[in-house]
Amino acid sequence: MKMDLQAVYDGFADTYEESRGLFDMSEVLESFYQRLGAEAGDLLDLGCGAGEPFGRYFVDRGWSVVGVDFSARMLELAARYVPEMQTIHSDMRTVEFEPAQFDAVTAVYSLFHVPAAEHPALFEKFRRWLRPGGKVLFTYATREYTGCDEFDGFKEFLGKQLYYSHRTPEHLVSDLEYAGLAVESLDYRDIGGEIFLWVTACRPL
């Protein structure tokens, strides 16, 4: 059955403990953190879920973290696991921030749930919300996950039908450049048997 994505994630929150910390994300975290090269700063985590591992990792290193998620139940978990993180219950497509408010923006395993047609508007906001030199990291779905060069539809995950959307990596790069973000790295990573494209881009100085 195709449920509303927000309701699906509210449901996943009930069984979150069963898969908590199952996947080792340390390499992704450390390589992004080193790329930032900052002692501490402000992170915006879009689709923060339970606040792990990203919110937790940055808070532990003295960063101030704002997490945004449209699942109220996931945010209840975040309040328990990362109480230091400020959370906003909102759709990432409608939330607003001041220009140059963040040193880093992450959208880990979440941006692919937003229709690809709406990615350019989000990329434009990422550039605006980042300080010059600030960086964004997100997970992008590709043929390696959906089996298609471009995809806009549902795939099964943990027994539920979830909405995913992506275009080709070439199209993604041109959308990022058009938004004024310089692509720094594109890495296919297999984490827990799922291959996604991990993208970092920078707001030029």
Ligand X SMILES: C[S@@+](CC[C@H](N)C(=O)[O-])C[C@H]1O[C@@H](n2cnc3c(N)ncnc32)[C@H](O)[C@@H]1O
Q: Which of 11, 91, 100, 168 binds ligand X (CB under 6 A)?
A: 91
Our CB check for ligand X shows the closer of 38 and 191 to be 191
| Cα 118 from Cα 200, distance rounded (Å) | 19
User: Residue 85, interface with ligand X (CB under 6 A)?
Assistant: no
User: Residue 9, interface with ligand X (CB under 6 A)?
Assistant: yes
Q: 10 Å Cβ neighbour count for 155?
A: 15
For the record, the structure tokens of 86 come out as 């400020």
Q: 10 Å Cβ neighbour count for 11?
A: 15
User: Residue 81, interface with ligand X (CB under 6 A)?
Assistant: no
Q: Which of 28, 32, 47, 164 binds ligand X (CB under 6 A)?
A: 47
Q: Is residue 126 within 8 Å of residue 100, measured between CB atoms? A: no
Q: Which of 32, 58, 66, 71 binds ligand X (CB under 6 A)?
A: 71
For the record, the structure tokens of 35 come out as 């790329």
Burial class (CB in 10 A: 0-12, 13-18, 19+), 132: exposed
The pattern of x and - marking residues 110 through 139 that bind ligand X according to CB under 6 A reads x--xx-------------------------
- Continuous segment of H or E residues that includes residue 35: helix 26-36
User: Residue 142, interface with ligand X (CB under 6 A)?
Assistant: no
In the complex, the residues that contact ligand X under the rule CB under 6 A are 5, 9, 47-49, 68-71, 74, 91-93, 108-110, 113-114
